[in-house]
A and B are shown apart, each in its own frame.
Chain A
Amino acid sequence: MKELPAINFTIAQSNLVRYAGASGDFNELHTVPQSAIERGHKNVVAHGMYIMGLSSNAIMRWFPNSKLQHIKVRFHSAVYPGGKLTINGKWTIKDAVTQGSIEIIDNDGQLKLIGNFKLNKSIV
């Protein structure tokens, strides 16, 4: 498996507001700080689907001429506003199919997401 260039980004609280509106998921865990705090969190929690969306963005950036055929992710721990995250990826070609793995960690090394993906054709 070959390494893909790491992508770094920071989650702003306003990113989550915008994502809530765009996706239609207004669950208070993601939108109302007080409600998230009452449920034991330090702030609103990023939507898992937002983090998955950022993962699929990374894959499309790594392989701009390919199409995603399959993606599977597991959400490991909550992402909060201000979180500094790194997306790492690895890839290989097996049976003429480009496939890879992806992970997101924060700057304390805590795992946020792991996953794997397949693209519809290999492009090197």
Chain B
Amino acid sequence: MDLSHTEIFHFEPFRIEEGKVNEFAKALGIDEVFTDNTAVPPTFFTVIDYWNDRDFYQMLEEFNIPSNNVLHGEQSYEYMVDVFIGDTISAKATLLKTLHKNNKIFYFLETIYTNQMKITVAIGRATLIELELDSA
């Protein structure tokens, strides 16, 4: 059985608000005030995923990944262009591959973030790991 397949999920375009950026930076202990010309913190993309009207958990549901039984195994970001307050970021996630190995299922996801000028600003890649509890 071929278990690898491709699925696509579009997040809602997300406007980067000043208050949200500063709240996130403070939560990470960043001692800096973010204004219109300061690029958002490197892991701010997580806010785009989770505070979205179509959020990360809806994506997992559409990809058939059980949200209460997965671990975040790996995460990477590649940065091309800075993101600023006032930008509107679109995000397209793809389930690239699913792999069964050692009683675990590995899900490989890629999310491409683009700004309002349709320029790719960053690519996030995640590995989620599901433990197959009932496999005996």
Residues of chain A touching chain B, judged by Cβ–Cβ distance below 8 Å, are: 15, 18-19, 21-25, 27-29, 39, 48-50, 52-54, 56-57, 60, 67-75
Contact = CB atoms under 8 A, between A and B. Distances in A.
Contacts, number: 91
A31 B24 CA distance: 17
B46 A49 contact: yes
A73 B28 contact: no
Contacts of A60: 42
A18 B22 CA distance: 12
A26 B51 CA distance: 10
A52 B82 CA distance: 19
A74 B73 contact: yes
Interface of B: 20, 23-24, 26-30, 39, 41-43, 46-47, 49-52, 55-57, 67-68, 71-79, 82, 125
Contacts of A49: 43, 46, 72, 75
Closest CB pairs A-B (n = 3): A24-B50, A72-B76, A22-B27
